Amino acid sequence: MKENVIFCYSGTGNCLDMARNIAKKLGDTDIVMMRKYPAVTDVRGAKRVGFIFPCYGGGLPGHVERYIRDIKVSPDAYTFGIAQCAAYKGEGLSKINAVIPLKYWAAVSHQCTCIWLFPHDLMMPKMGAVEAQARSEYLADRIAEDVRNNVVSRKKLSKALLNRAEHAAWPQIARKQGLTLKANDNCIMCGTCAKVCPADNIKYTGRAVVFGDKCISCCACVQYCPQEAINFGKITEKRERYHNANVTVDDLNQEIISF
CA 238 vs. chain centroid, Å, equals 24
Closest Cα to residue 212, out of 223, 225, 200, 228? 200
Q: Is 204 in the site for ligand FMN (CB under 6 A)?
A: no
d(CA 131, CA 156): 30
Q: Is 90 in the site for ligand FMN (CB under 6 A)?
A: yes
Shortest distance (Å) from residue 39 CB to ligand FMN: 19
d(CA 192, CA 248): 11
Element holding 224 (H helix, E strand) = helix 220-224
Q: Quick one: which of 40, 87, 190, 249 contacts ligand FMN (CB under 6 A)?
A: 87
- Give strand pairing partners of 203: 210
Q: Is 100 in the site for ligand FMN (CB under 6 A)?
A: no
Q: Quick one: which of 57, 62, 92, 198 contacts ligand FMN (CB under 6 A)?
A: 57
| Cβ atoms of residues 33 and 252 within 8 Å | yes
DSSP secondary-structure letter at 84? E
Taking the CA atoms of the chain, what radius of gyration do you get in angstroms?
A: 18
Q: Is 14 in the site for ligand FMN (CB under 6 A)?
A: yes
Q: Is 224 in the site for ligand FMN (CB under 6 A)?
A: no
Shortest distance (Å) from residue 99 CB to ligand FMN: 20
Q: Is 219 in the site for ligand FMN (CB under 6 A)?
A: yes
Q: Is 13 in the site for ligand FMN (CB under 6 A)?
A: yes
- Smaller CB distance to ligand FMN: residue 52 or 102? 52
| Cβ atoms of residues 30 and 258 within 8 Å | yes
Per CB under 6 A, the segment of 7-15, 23-31, 153-161, 204-212 that binds ligand FMN is: 7-15
- Smaller CB distance to ligand FMN: residue 10 or 78? 10
Return the number of other C-beta atoms located less than 10 Å from residue 203's C-beta.
12
Q: Report the interface residues with ligand FMN, using CB under 6 A.
A: 10-15, 54-58, 84-88, 90, 110-114, 217-219, 244
